[in-house]
Chain A
Amino acid sequence: MISLTRILFFSSLLICNQVFALEFNQVQTSESSVTFGYKQMNVPLEGKFSKFAAQLTFDPAKAANAQARLDIEVASIDTGSAEGDDAVVGKLWFNAKSFPKASFVSTGLKGLGGNRYEAAGKLTIKGKTQDVVAPVTFQTNGTRGVFDGGFTIKRLDYTIGEGEWTDLGTVANEIQIKFHIVVNATPVKK
């Protein structure tokens, strides 16, 4: 007897699926991170931004509708050295006084199959905006989701490092940005 309970169970699942979907929209900032890697005299260094705010809505069933926004307080930078931290908030680097925030605003998310996506968006740093594209993976564990991705920017595209620092022989142009965003889901009605 393929039991009535079994049929009931599966049909109830089906109903639930039709009525509810999981929308990931509560970013857990304290568990998330925005880090970056760069090279100085070919010496690899790592840094991070400790303060940022993020809004995100993502329904795996409707990936194309996903939206994300990330606002980073540039003064919260940790370049890996105290001397570097003091320098990079200054005018020649991030000019944090005039441009306190760097932001990423998504323009589209494309499914690449499985848990892989490609996120496109506009990155604004120091008042300069550029299009960026980042491969992203999304992993879920119940109502907890994690986005991991990264992309490379060229610092001079954003005039990060002016004057003597435009010299790319010491601090390289390429900056590898990595993000790890933890986001919890709430069931929403369809």
Chain B
Amino acid sequence: MSTPVERYSNTAIALHWLIALLIFVAFPLGLYMSDLQLSPTKLQLFSYHKWIGITVLVLAVIRLIWRVTHTPPALPDSIAKLQQIASNIVHGVLYVLLFAVPVSGWLMSSAKGFKTVLFGILPLPDLVGKDKELGKLLELVHQSLNYILLLLVVLHVAALIKHRFIDHDDILPRMLPGGSSK
């Protein structure tokens, strides 16, 4: 007889999947648009990418506040202590990246002289002045952080697969909607 799964709260679950979805759109969009020749489409895609990024940043703030004020369900005891620590570290770095990736993009945009105007309506302040060299550097930072993010997302999903099919202590339902929530 199995004990019912202890889930994350519905809010945490919603934020997790919403942010995941936005990242799954923004990441390939960023890769694709950078190599395009200048065209109205390119300008549009850059704006969409930036809007998605800022949305992720806003959601990340909400998510962090929620995380700090709500204790997540404990990992099952079947998972070794060392693995739990590793899991916490990966989750911690993912949280950092939810902020660092959009902020680096915002900074890069400012340094390159393109203000971010959220949804074409709300101009965001330029965090740094226009500076060509700084722009190039921040582009590299933004790219590098994204590849680290990609690596960690792969690790995140790989862990899920391992727990389901190798360890048989499926942890995915903790983050799936439905049933009783904590």
Contact = CB atoms under 8 A, between A and B. Distances in A.
Contacts of A43: 47, 114-117
A170 B43 contact: yes
Given A41-B117, A42-B120, A42-B121, A167 B112 contact: no
Nearest to B118: A42
Best-surrounded residue of B40, B44, B46, B47 (most CB of chain A within 10 A): B40
B117 to A, nearest CB: 5
Interface footprint category on B? 10 to 19
A92 B46 CA distance: 21
A165 B115 contact: no
A167 B121 contact: no
Contact of A41 (B38, B39, B43, B112): B43
A41 B113 contact: no
22 contacts: A40-B43, A41-B43, A41-B46, A42-B117, A42-B121, A43-B115, A43-B116, A43-B117, A45-B113, A45-B114, A80-B114, A81-B112, A81-B114, A86-B38, A87-B38, A164-B39, A164-B40, A164-B41, A165-B40, A167-B40, A169-B40, A171-B40
Interface of A: 40-45, 80-81, 83-84, 86-87, 164-165, 167, 169-171
Interface of B: 38-41, 43-44, 46-47, 112-117, 120-121, 123
